[in-house]
Structure 1
C-alpha cells in the first residue's frame, strides 16, 4: 500500500488547496439544504388529478435520483402504491394516466431525463419537475405543470450529488403534498438537529484523534470500500457508493442484508489479495429487527474469519428517516476525507465529462 500523510486531515490550509470547489462546505451545509428546500417548496401546489395517482415513477440520473432510493427504502412500510426509479431514456409501457412521473435533474440538461419528460408530454401523462433551471424547468413552465425550481443557496460546490438535501426533501415533500406519505415539519426539524450533531462530531475542526469520519477514512485508504446495510438504510449506502466514485474517485460496492447472506459470503475467498484490498463498512441500526441484527453479527464474523477488515458504524437517530439522513451526513464526511488522503480534488468529474463530450 502506498504511504500517505494522515496529518493532512488536520491541516485546513492544505485541504483548501485540494478542495478548490468548496465540496466540504456543501457537505457541512447539508442540514441547511434540508431546511431551505422545505421553505422553498412550501407554496408548490398540485391540481386534483395528481392526487388520484396509483403509482409513482422517479426519473433521474446520478445524483439527481439518489433521493428516490432513500425514499423507497425509508417509506417501504408506508407507501401504499408502487414507486419505481427510472435511470433511462424511455418510459415503461405501463406508465399511464394514473402514473405520476417526477423528472429530477439538478442541472436541468440531463438528456435521459429530458427524454422522459418529452415522452410524458407526448403520452399526456401527469408529470412534475425538480431542478435548478435550464431545459427541464423551461419545459415544465411551457407545459404549465407543477415544478420545484431549486435555489441552491447552500450548495456552494454546485455539484448535483452534493445537493441531496434539496432533491431529497423536494421529492419527499411532493409525495407528502399528494398525501402519499406522512412528513410533518417537525420530522424535518428533528432529522436536521440529528444531522447537525453529526456535523459537530466530524467537521474539519475536530482533530483526527477524536474524529470518527477522519479515522474511518484513514482505515479505508488504499482499499476498496464495500458497504453493507439493510432496510431503511439501503438507499443511503447506495448514495454513498456513488459519492465514493465521484468524490473520492475510488471503486466501491454496496450489498444489503439479508440478500448478501445467500451469495456474497462465498465470494470472499479469491483472489488471495482480498484481505489487502477490501474493507467492509457495516451500517448498523438500533431500529433493525432482532433477526436482521443477528444476521449483521454473523455476517461480520464471516468477514473477519476470511481475514478481511470490517468497520461497524452505528447510525445515530431514533427514526428511520433520521437515520437515513445522519448516515448520509457521516458517510459524506468519510468520503471527503478519503479523497483528501488521495490528494484528489473531489469536484471535477473528468471521465464523466469526457464521456459526455464523446457521446455528444
Structure 2
C-alpha cells in the first residue's frame, strides 16, 4: 500500500507530534503570565468546547479524578449550566477560535462575571479575550483540532495545577510520558503485523467498532477513540462505559443478530479500575462472546496515571490512522463537517 499517497495531507506526522506537544505545552505555560491573579475563590471548573477542542477536558477529568476537590465538568453546547457564577472558572477551548457554541458560552460567562481563560490558536475567541483583557493561551495554528490533543489537554491541566486549583505535580510525569511515547513511535508507525495498532486495524477495519472503558479512568479515552475512528478512519463507531452499559446496553445484543458479525468490541483497561468494574468487564465480555466473536482488550502501560492515559490515547490515534489506510482513505479531510458548516452559515 502506498501510505504517502493515501495520507496526502500527512496525518501521520500530526499523530507523531503528540510527544512533542506535551513538552511544548509545559514551555508555553511556564512562560505564560496569568492576568487573573487570584483563583482562591474558585469553587467549580467548567470546560467549554466542541469536538477535538472538548476532548482535552474529558482527558483532564480522568487525570484529576483522584485529586480534584471541586466539581469539574465539560459541556458541549451553546449555553452554560445555571449554576455557573462568579466563582466558576470557565475555560473556553476553541482551536480555530470560531466555534459558535463556544463563543456563545463565552458571552454568557462574561454576563455571569465568571473567571475566564481561553485556549485557542486565534480567531474570534482570541479577539474577544483580548478585548476584555482576559487570559488567552495561544497554541500553534494550521493543525486539525483533533491532532492537538496534547496541547489542549496538557494546557488545561497546567492551568489548574499552576493556579492551585487541583493538587497535582505533573511536570515530571509529563516529561516521562513524552519520552515513553517517543519510544513507541517507531513501533506504532510501522506497517507491519508486529505493530499492535496495525494488526488490530487489519482485523476490524470492516467492522463497526464499539469501545468500552470504565467510567472513572478510561471512558474519556473510549470517547477519544470513537471520535478518531469517525474523523480519521471515516467509520461509524460507538462507545459506552462500565458499569453503565451493564444496566441497559448489554441487553441490546440479542435481536437483529444478523448484524453482529459486523461488530467488534474493544475493552480499554487500566490497573486502577475498581475491582468490581474489572469483574464487570470480564463477565460482560464472556456473556457477549456468545454474540460477538471479535473482542479485544487493550491495557494501558506506564507508572503514572498520566502516562497510562496518554499511552492509550496514542494507541487509539495510531489505530485510527491504520484503519484509514486499510480503507485507502485520506485521514485528514472532514468533508461532511465542512459541508454542514457551510449550510449553517447561510
TM range (shorter): over 0.9
Matches for 1:97-176 after TM superposition, within 5 Å: 97-151=86-140, 158-176=143-161
Q: Runs of at least 4 residues of structure 1 off by over 3 A? A: none
Cα deviation, 1:234-287, whole Å, max 9, x if unaligned, reads: 111111111111111111111111111122221112212233110001112223
Contact 2:263 2:292 survives alignment (8 Å): no
Instruction: Give the structure 2 partner of residue 187 of structure 1.
Output: 173
Quote how far apart the aligned CAs of 1:57 are: 0.7
Which stretch shows the higher mean deviation, 279-288 or 242-251? Answer: 279-288
Once the two structures are superposed, what CA deviation does each residue of 1:74-118 show, in whole Å capped at 9, x if it has no partner? 212211111111211122221111001100000111111111112
Partner of 1:235: 220
After superposition, give the CA deviation of every residue in 1:203-227 in whole Å (9 maximum; x if it has no partner): 1xx3422110001001111100000
Q: 2:188 and 2:245 mapped to 1: Cα distance?
A: 30
- Higher RCO (CA < 8 A, seq sep 6+): 1
Alignment correspondent of 2:23: 35
Alignment gaps of 5+ in structure 1: 1-7, 9-13
Q: CA RMSD in A?
A: 1.5
* Structure-2 separation of matches of 1:325 and 1:226: 20
Q: Partner of 2:11 in structure 1?
A: 23
SS class of match (1:49): coil
- Matching of residues 246-261 of structure 1 within 5 Å: 246-261=231-246
- Do the aligned partners of 2:90 and 2:115 also contact (CA within 8 Å) in 1? yes
Who is 1:262 aligned against? 247
Q: How many angstroms apart in 1 are the aligned matches of 2:102 and 2:150?
A: 20
Task: Work out the CA distance in 2 between the residues paired with 1:314 and 1:197.
Answer: 18
Identify the residue that residue 185 of structure 2 maps to in structure 1.
Answer: 199
**How far apart are residue 297 of structure 1 and its match?**
1.5
Tell me how far apart the structure 1 counterparts of residues 252 and 293 of structure 2 sit (CA, whole Å): 12
2:119 match: secondary structure: strand
* 5+ long unaligned stretches in structure 2: none
Match of 1:44 in 2: 32
Task: Provide TM-score, normalisation by structure 1.
Answer: 0.91
Distance change (3 Å), C-alpha of 1:78 and 1:89: same
Larger CA deviation: 142-151 vs 61-70: 142-151
**Secondary structure of the structure 1 residue equivalent to 2:282:** helix
Q: 2:271 maps to what in 1? A: 286
Where do 1:60-71 residues align within 5 Å?
A: 60-71=49-60
Q: CA deviation at 1:336?
A: 0.5
Q: Which moved more, 1:158-167 or 1:254-263?
A: 254-263
